[in-house]
Structure 1
């Protein structure tokens, strides 16, 4: 996964955790606007989330942040 996407995911997760608490969940759609303005980046996130790690639709933001910061 490219660094730009890792940084964005970590930033969004941190923001969600701060605003909604430690137990907040996210899906990979949380990292994109409600429009398909960068389909390659969206598919990269979806592939990492669904194919690579076989994650559920919603996961804890803490878990996702830890994973991307660890380079998984």
Structure 2
């Protein structure tokens, strides 16, 4: 996964945790605007989320942040 995408995921997770608490869940759509303006990047995250790690639709933000920080 691209470094810029990893940084964006960490940033979104941090903001969600700060605003909604440690138990907040999110989907991979949380990293994108409500419109599909970058399908290549969306598919990169979807592949990482669904195919590579077989995650559920909603996953706790702290788990995603930990996975990214661990290089997964």
Q: What range is the shorter-chain TM-score in? A: over 0.9
SS in 1 for 2:23: coil
**Unaligned stretches of 5+ residues in structure 2:** none
2:34 equivalent in structure 1: 34
Distance 1:46 1:5 in 2: 12
1:10 equivalent in structure 2: 10
Distance 2:45 2:36 in 1: 13
2:63 equivalent in structure 1: 63
1:54 equivalent in structure 2: 54
Distance 1:69 1:13 in 2: 12
C-alpha displacement of 1:70: 1.1
Q: How many residues align?
A: 72
Structure 2 length-normalised TM: 0.98
Structure 1 residue runs of 4+, over 2 Å off? none
Structure 1 length-normalised TM: 0.98
